[in-house]
Chains A and B, each alone.
Chain A
Amino acid sequence: MREFVASRWGVRAGSVLAVVLLLVVAPSMLSVFSLGLLGKFICFAIVAVGIGLAWGRGGMLTLGQGVFFGLGAYIMAMHMKLADASLFGGTGVPDFMSLYGSGDVPGWWEPFRSPAVTLLAVALVPGLVALLLGLAVFKRRVKGAYFAILSQALAAAFAVLLIGQQATTGGSNGLSGFRSFFGFDLQDPANKVMLYSIAVIVLLMMMAAARQLMHSRFGELLVAVRDQEERVRFLGYDPATVKTVVYVLAAAMAGIAGALFVPIVGIVSPADVGVVPSIAFLIGVAIGGRATLLGPVLGALGVAVAQTSLASSFPSFWVYFQGLLFVLVIGFLPGGVASVPRALANLLKQGARTEADRSTGAFSAKSGVPQRAPDGLDVSTGPIREEASR
C-alpha cells in the first residue's frame, strides 16, 4: 500500500482522483455557498503546502505566515478596488478613500492598477520580504524558538500597521465590497465556480512543486539542514542559503493563497493576517503531519471544515478544542495523523514478533544490523525532533 502510494502510478492515480473529486464532483454536488467555503479552505491548504516545506522539511517554525498571506491578499484587494473604481465609479478612486481620506489614491497603490503587475506582485512581494528577512535572520544563525517568536511578532506588527492606516488600507474594516475580478462579475455563480477551480488548480500545482522539491537533491539537503544544521557547514554548504530558499518559497505560496482568498471570500481585514490566523495555519499542518506532502493539505482542510461546523454550534468552545488538539498532536503524535499507519504497522509487527518469540520459547538471537528503524525514521513520515524543545 505504502509503496503504491509513493510509486509513479500511485501519484498519477491520486492526482486524477483529486482532480475528479475537486473539479468535477464538488462543483456539481455543492451549493455555490459551500463551494465558496471549500474554496477558502483550499486557500488555507495552499499556505499549508508552504508551511509543510518550511517547517516539516526545513525545521523552521513559521509562526508568521499571515504576513505573507496578507501581503498577497492586500495587493490583490488593492487591484480589485482600483479596478472597481474605474469600472463603476468612473473616478478611479476607491469608495472608502473618499470616505476616510483626502480622496486621492496614494502613490504606492498606483502600480497595482495594472493586472500584470498585480499578478506578479502577489508572489514576488512576499517572496522578496521573506528573502530579506531570511537572509538577515538565518545568516545570523537565529533559529528554533527565537525564529518562531520573531516571525510571530512580525505578524502582530503587520496587523497593527494595517489597522493604523484607515485611509489607505481600510483599517480594521479591511478591504471589501468587490464587484469584479479582472473584468468578471463576482455575483455570477459561474464565475464563482471558476474562481474555485483556479484555487484547486493552483493548489495541485503547488503540491506538484513541493513534491518535486522534496524528491530532489535539494530536498535531501533540506532534511540534512533540518536535522544537523552545523554538520552541513562542514560539507561546504551555507545552511542559511538553503533555509532562505525554502522560506521564500513558502512565503510566495502564502502570498498566492492570499490573492485567491480575496475574490473568493470577498473581504480581507487585519483579522485574516495577524497572530491568530498565523497560528491557525500551523495547526492543520501539525495535525496532518508536517513532514509529508499530503498531511499539511488534508490537515488544513480538515481543521477548516471542523472549525466551520463546530464554531457555528459551539462558538466559544472551538478555540479551546483547537488548542487541545494542537497540544495533543505535538505531545503524543509529532508526526501527525500521517504517521498513524506506520505507527500502527510497527505496533502490529512488534506484537507479532513477541507472539512468535513466545511460541518458540527461544530468545531468537537476532544479532547484527537492527531490522527495524527505531520509531519510524523514514524521511517521508518520520517524527521530527521538536523545534520548540531546542
Chain B
Amino acid sequence: MRSPFLLSPDEPKAGGLPAGQHHYLKIRNLSVVFDGFVAVDKVNLDVSQGDLRFLIGPNGAGKTTVIDAITGLVPASGSVNHTGTEILGRKVHQIARLGVGRTFQTASVFENLSVLQNLDIAAGSGRRALELLRRRRKTEPAVEEAMELVGLGHLAEKQAGVLSHGQKQWLEIGMLLVQNSDLLLLDEPIAGMSQDERIETGQLLRKIGASRITLVIEHDMDFVREFATSVTVLAAGKVLSEGSVAEVQADRRVQEVYLGSAKEGGE
C-alpha cells in the first residue's frame, strides 16, 4: 500500500539519512541519580533520522532510565537536544508535543476504549476545544493508515483491553505514529511476542524507522542482529561501546560484560 503520511520509501541505515537537513537526537553528559545511586552516568548519545538504533546492555544498565530521562519522567542533568531544541527540564506533556513519543515495557493502552479511540486520542493533542467537544464523525487519514500499518485495521472497533499482548504493543506503536512523533523511544517492544510477531514487528520498525529517529531497547540478540542498523551498549549507567552490530559484538569489553552476567542478552 502506498503510504503518503507515515512512511518514506527508504530503508533505515547506520548514520541515518544520506544527505540534507535532518532531525537528530544529541545527548550530552546525561546523568540520573536516585538517592545517591548513579543510574545513568554522563551518557553521550547521537542518533540521526533514519537510523534504527538499538540500546542493549545487561539488566540494570540504565537503558529504561535513559528513556525516562529523555521523556521527562525522571529528573536528570546534562543536555538532551532534539533537532536544535533542548528538551531536558520540560514537563512530560510538553516534551511529547515536541515530537518525542515512547512505548512502555508493559503495553499501556486505554483498555476501556476501542482501538480506533486509542489512536484518535493519540492523534489529537493539538485539537482545538470546539473540535474536542464534538463527536468523531470520520476517521482521520493518518489514523486509518496507522491502523493498517500496524495490522489492526480489522480490529478498529474492538476494545483495546481484549487485544493480545503483541497487538497491544502494535497499537502503542500506531499511537506513536499518529502522535506525529519523529523521535521514537521503544522499550522492549517484542518482549513476550511469538516468533512470527517478532518478525512482523521488526519489519514494521524498518518501515517506520527510515524517516524517524528511533531508539529501541532490546534484549534479544537475534532480533538486534536482524533489524538494527546501529547499536549502543550500556553497562552500569555508562556507554560501553557503539557501532554496527558486528563491531559491537567484536568489542572485548562488551563480551566481558555479557560473559560476566552469563545469561543476559538472550544468547
Contact = CB atoms under 8 A, between A and B. Distances in A.
Nearest to B127: A217
B251 interface: no
Given A233-B92, A237-B125, A377 B120 contact: no
Interface stretch (A75-83, A113-121, A169-177, A220-228): A220-228
Interface string A192-230: 000000000000000000001101111011011001100
Interface in B64-82: 71
B258 interface: no
B159 to A, nearest CB: 5
Contacts of B179: 235-236
Contacts of B110: 223-224, 227-228, 231
Contacts of B111: 227, 377
B162 A235 contact: no
Interface residues of B, number: 38
Interface string B201-243: 0000000000000000000000000000000000000000000
A224 B113 CA distance: 8
A382 B159 CA distance: 12
B134 A374 contact: no
A369 interface: yes
Contacts of A236: 93, 96-97, 125-126, 179
B112 A227 contact: yes
B124 A217 contact: yes
A370 B134 CA distance: 32
Given A235-B179, A236-B179, A369-B162, A220 B92 contact: no
Nearest to A214: B135
B108 A216 contact: no
Contacts of A232: 93, 121
7 contacts: A212-B135, A217-B136, A227-B112, A235-B179, A236-B179, A369-B163, A377-B162
Given A213-B133, A223-B112, 6 more contacts: A216-B132, A218-B132, A220-B136, A231-B108, A236-B179, A373-B159
| 10 tightest A-B CB contacts, nearest first | A236-B125, A236-B96, A233-B92, A218-B132, A236-B97, A224-B110, A233-B93, A238-B93, A377-B161, A231-B108
